[in-house]
Amino acid sequence: MDFRLSDEQQAFAQAARDFALGELAPNAAHWDAENIFPRATFARAGELGFCAIYAPESIGGLGLPRLDATLVFEEMAAVDPSTTAFLTIHNMATWMIGSWASQPVRDTWGPLLAAGEKLASYCLTEPGSGSDAASLTTRAEKHGGAYVLNGAKAFISGAGDTDVLVVMARTGGPGASGVSAFVVPANTPGIAYGRKEEKMGWNSQPTRPIVFENAEVPAENLLGREGEGFKFAMKGLDGGRINIGICSVGAAQGAYDAARRYMIERKQFGRQLADFQALQFKLVDMLTHIVASRQMVRLAASKLDENDPDSSSYCAMAKRLATDLCFQVCLEGQQIHGGYGYLKDYPLERLVRDTRVHQILEGTNEIMRVIVARQLLDKGADIR
């Protein structure tokens, strides 16, 4: 088993690192403090292919493996997890449109999304259906050559500031088999956006509820066929769990790097902090958790790229492990900084705030355990 990255992958990661240092590092704290959604930065990311990393080449995407996408997202999240996390959501929605939209919809939206000129949101969660996503109640009724949407979504990243929505709505009976997916222009009449949520972190991306009241979209805006929406949503979430896991890895790497520098520069009791064995051990444990999480996420990404039948379990395990361990790494990095780690002058407090939600979104870590347990016990999967 070869864990080394190819020369091409290393060059791709370096390009992402350069982008992060040039575009994100000088601005991340300002965007966080002022709640700024940096559209111009996403457009520049699109110029490098970072808005459609694994989307099909037919719409202008790079068509690369999920493993390669983790390299980009990790480098960016080491500087700015919030902005990077939205970029992962946009990538997921762009991939879904490029993979399953009708040709007219693909032609209309695909190239613009791939270039970062237009941005997309993913709309699955509802006020009454979070972990139990299959119980969603937003409906899409077909009338002639159009579908009419009624219902509400909650916690939608980018809502109110993006250009198109990938919406899961019920076209049939109860349960997963009654759910379909639609491409909905964000300015469609009948769509109303609620107030921007005030959040603990992720402040460079807006989060709003959405209400659909007789919002009409052409029938050609259906993704795939009726009843396939939940399948598409779960495929999206498998990749989303890898994405958010690697965002945690990146943030933890950023916290580790900052803590290591601080230990070398800071002196107490006439000695560098790096001379104290207790802090040396803490730093080693941080790095060990980062390396373990990174390899778990990359393994899950490889399983997804290979269409492994157990890939969903690997994605769930990787998301659970990485978001738990790497949030702890960020906390430890903040602790090493002492009182300075609590100040906004240093990146640690932002890294802590931005990674906290990773244990909740894309399915809570408790639900990750449920997914894996069902594979092991109900389906008898032999995961090794």
Give residue-wise pLDDT tens across range 355-370.
999 999 999 999 999 9
Identify which of 3, 23, 170 has the alpha carbon closest to the alpha carbon of residue 87.
23
120-225 carries CATH number 2.40.110.10: yes
Any catalytic annotation for residue 362? yes
**Coil/strand/helix, residue 212:** strand
309 three-class SS: coil
Q: How many CB atoms lie within 10 A of CB 150?
A: 16
Identify the helix (H) or strand (E) that includes residue 33: helix 28-34
Which of the residues 8, 74, 362, 366 is marked catalytic?
362
Instruction: Using the predicted structure, report yes or no on whether residue 380 has a pLDDT greater than 80.
Output: no
The confidence score (pLDDT) of residue 1 equals 62
Contact 27, 38 (CB under 8 A): yes
Task: Give residue 384's pLDDT.
Answer: 79
Torsion sign across C-alpha atoms 183, 187, 188, 192: positive
Cβ–Cβ < 8 Å for 369, 321: no
Which residue, chain included where needed, has tokens 């979104």?
361
Q: Which superfamily, per CATH, for 230-377?
A: Butyryl-CoA Dehydrogenase, subunit A, domain 3 (1.20.140.10)
The tens digit of pLDDT for each residue in 89-127 reads 999 999 999 999 999 999 999 999 999 999 999 999 999
Q: What is the mean pLDDT of residues 296-314?
A: 96
From residue 121, alpha-carbon distances to 183, 192, 241, 288 in Å are 10, 15, 16, 35
**Cα dihedral across residues 4, 242, 256, 34: positive or negative:** positive
Ranges of CATH 1.20.140.10 domains, the chain = 230-377
Regarding the domain delimited by 7-114, which CATH topology (the fold level of the hierarchy) does it fall under?
Answer: Butyryl-Coa Dehydrogenase, subunit A; domain 1 (1.10.540)
- C-beta separation of 356 from 349 below 8 A: no
Structure-token pair, residue 101: 């939209």
Residue pLDDT, tens place only, 130-178? 888 889 999 999 999 999 999 999 999 999 999 999 999 999 999 999 9
3-state helix, strand, coil in the chain (%, to 5): 55, 15, 30
**Mean pLDDT on 82-91:** 98
The arithmetic mean of pLDDT across residues 348-357, rounded, is 98
- Per-residue model confidence (pLDDT) at position 137: 95
**Alpha carbon distance 38, 83 (integer Å):** 8
Average pLDDT for the chain:
96
Rounded to whole angstroms, the Cα distance separating 331 from 335 reads 6
Within the chain, all domains assigned CATH 2.40.110.10 are found at 120-225
